[in-house]
Amino acid sequence: MSFSDFKVSSVKNFVVSLFVVGYKTQGESIVILFRDDEKQKILFSMVVDCFVHEKVNVTRKILDKYGIKTLDAVCWTHPHWDHSYGIDELVHDYLSPSTTIFSPKFYYGNLKKDLLRSECKKTPGIFKSLREEVANNPNINDVWRTISASGDLSLNFTMQLSADDDVSVKKDIKFYFLTPIGNRTDEFALEGTEFDAPNELSISFIISLDGYNLFFGGDTEYGHAEDIQTSIVKSLRWIKVPHHCSLGGKSIAERIGPKLDFSTSTIYSKANLPVEDVQKMYASPEHPLYMTQLPNRKACVYGVVQYDYRFNSDNIDVDITTYGNAGAYTPK
């Protein structure tokens, strides 16, 4: 399985930009852009989750800043409100016939009655709206992908990058989907058991560029996080921390390898997240933890951490910029 391949003017002009967006008390979204710096061109665009706070949608602002009219991919990690608000409208406004939408595979009948509605009364409507957007697409099986994974590298999508200035350059960019662990969610369906935690559905995945592994953790926690192969966790270089630095995602922090460069987390203050002990596990001088919200910053309703990666030499260069209430976490 693959996305569309793409060309860059030169590998030295290839930039991967990651924007981790969070808001004052809750809300998470990520924008992923592959860019050609010389041509000021977007080669690939993807959004992971969405949120709107006080009518502010920073995800849209980022897409508009880079002149993006359609998205190549959207990932709705799970149906919790703080990851869902506005994602249906975003898909409606940025959809193209080839946009790929990823959502977790699950069975509504095996969720606790009215669970999604109690978490977010609009969540069933969001799901319905997303399906309706692609229902008439003749390639619906390609554009609507429901994820049921195994915690390993077996479920993957490939894109190939080539360079105009050097026809010998061929780089595979892999997307590995790790969770939700299918044999866990399938048990509920087979046994007719109800479960009451949408985080059980949460998608997590890796983007691997020349073996540099970027981990997008969603709200993956507990058994699903524990079932991700340890060798994969030890290989991670960049992490969007799962579930706002909660104890449920602690198993990822416990297995981090020496290669980690950076981690980033959003917050969910209603559940007293982040947990400081987990933050400390991610934060060190060797691999700093960036938060979209720092307690001593009240500049605005949002915070954004932007990473610009350049994979153009033996040394991988990265520039980090923070906006709003975001910044590097300093352990007490």
Q: How far is CA 61 from CA 28, 55, 56, 68, 302, in A?
A: 14, 12, 9, 10, 12
Tokens representing residue 26 in the block: 């809750």
Q: Where are the domains of the chain?
A: 6-328
pLDDT of residue 139: 87
This prediction's pTM:
0.95
pLDDT of residue 96: 93
Tokens representing residue 329 in the block: 């976490």
pLDDT of residue 251: 95
pLDDT of residue 194: 66
Each residue's pLDDT expressed in tens, for the chain with a length of 332 residues:
457 899 999 999 999 999 999 999 999 999 999 999 999 999 999 999 999 999 999 999 999 999 999 999 999 999 899 999 999 999 999 999 999 999 998 765 556 666 666 666 777 888 888 889 888 888 888 899 999 999 999 999 999 999 999 888 888 999 999 999 998 887 776 776 666 778 988 999 999 998 999 999 999 999 999 999 999 999 999 999 999 999 999 999 999 999 999 999 999 999 999 999 999 999 988 899 999 999 887 779 999 999 999 987 677 899 999 999 999 999 87
pLDDT of residue 169: 85
DSSP H helical segments within 41-169, as ranges? 58-65, 87-94, 115-119, 123-134, 140-143
- The one-character DSSP state at 84 is T
Q: Residue 186 burial by CB count (10 A; 0-12/13-18/19+): exposed, middle or buried?
A: middle
Class of domain 6-328: alpha beta
pLDDT of residue 233: 98
DSSP H helical segments within the chain, as ranges? 58-65, 87-94, 115-119, 123-134, 140-143, 182-191, 222-226, 230-234, 250-254, 276-282
When computed from its CA atoms, the radius of gyration of the chain, rounded to whole angstroms, is: 19
State the Cα–Cα distance between residues 327 and 293, nearest whole angstrom.
7
pLDDT of residue 94: 97
pLDDT of residue 103: 92
